[in-house]
Amino acid sequence: MMNIQGVLENALTQILKTPVLINGCGRTDAHVHASQFFFHMDIEQAWDFDLMFRLNKLLPASIAVFDIIPMEGTPHARFDAVQRCYDYFIHTYKSPFLNGLSAYYLLPELRFDQMKQAAALLPLYKDYRGFCTSPDKYEHTICNVMSAGLTVDSSGDLLRFQISSNRFLSKMIRIIMGQLLKIGKGELSVDEFEHYLINKETPRLITPAHPQGLYLSKVTYPYLDLSVRTTFSAILQPQFETFR
């Protein structure tokens, strides 16, 4: 099965009639979504047609290109990014409309206040070794988490966890979300959650949350800060307007 990068490279190669390789702003697990994602490519010869129109006609319905931006110099989609923002969505009832777009957890009585307290601790710490599946493969596990928070709709059926940082480690957000769900179920205390941050200690049992709920929702560069064209929360209006 071809990944998204391969699909894009094949389509661009077919349209431009020359081999094309792209560099994306990051890599992630299967079934994880992105409502904003950047990649760069180096093309020697300019085209004289509407590349975005042809590309979107050729790409499958699950992949859409919103902009093609000429850049000067040698910008890098991955290494130049200064901030990435992710959203994680959960629904607590079976829904054919949310299946595949949000993570389904049949957990109607979560302890939201404790989950929010734990999420609010994240920007206070920098070393996320305790929330990574393979910390030793990195030179360091420091992440500058700028914001993190959990919101819940008025019925308690829809949850949204949002976190932004300069970088993320392997499965870091899904592991954090898994720990927050344990807090919500009463299987982990807020103090125990903070213990992993303080002591940089990996939990004995790591249970990452389902990938379907995770979205890369915004990427920011020193020279480029575009508003998000499509957000998952907009699909669920007006429910998300009543988040608390």
Burial class of residue 51 (count of CB atoms within 10 Å of its CB; 0-12, 13-18, 19+): middle
CA atoms within 13 A on the CB side of 154: 6
Please state the φ and ψ torsions of residue 124, each to the nearest 5 degrees.
Answer: -80, -10
Give the DSSP per-residue string, 41-53: ---SS--SS-HHH
Residues 90 and 105 sit within 8 Å (Cβ to Cβ):
yes
Whether a cis peptide bond, with omega within 30° of 0, leads into 123 is no
| Annotated catalytic residue, options 29, 50, 113, 225 | 29
Say how many residues make up the chain: 244
Known active-site residue 153? no
Just list the catalytic residues. Answer: 29
